[in-house]
Amino acid sequence: MVSDGKDPHEQIEEEELLRKKLEESEQDRSKLAENLSSLCTSVLKVAGVRNHESETSLLKAMEALNQLQSCISSLESEVEDLRIKCKLLREKARLNSLRSDSSSMSSGANESSRSPSVCRSPSISSFR
């Protein structure tokens, strides 16, 4: 009963080998499905989605990931805006500091130029 020229014993061994490979593949697939389900559940938890169903779906997880991506982009823009505002506030503070230093220097110069004129003004004793 050799239809393809192979020994029946070889065919049985090959069939057993193929069954083992199929079983391993199915186990791997099952393990990957469990991992994917766990990942989807984690994504939904991070996204704040409360899943009342016993089964999490890949579609829901993908939607949650897209929402998270959008939220992250928005937050990154907000952080950049805040960095720019912080730089502006620092620069304003620096300019105000320079202005106050400049005005105190000029008022100090004005006071020194005024004090001799005060000394030159007629004293009360000269009016007597």
Domain coordinates in residue numbering, the chain: 10-109
**Phi, then psi, of 51 in degrees rounded to 5:** -95, 110
From 69, 29, 38, 68, select the one nearest 56 (Cα to Cα): 38
What is the tens place of the pLDDT at every residue in 66-99? Answer: 999 999 999 999 999 999 999 999 999 999 999 9
Work out the mean pLDDT of the chain and round it to a whole number. Answer: 82
pLDDT value of residue 41 = 87
pTM: 0.50
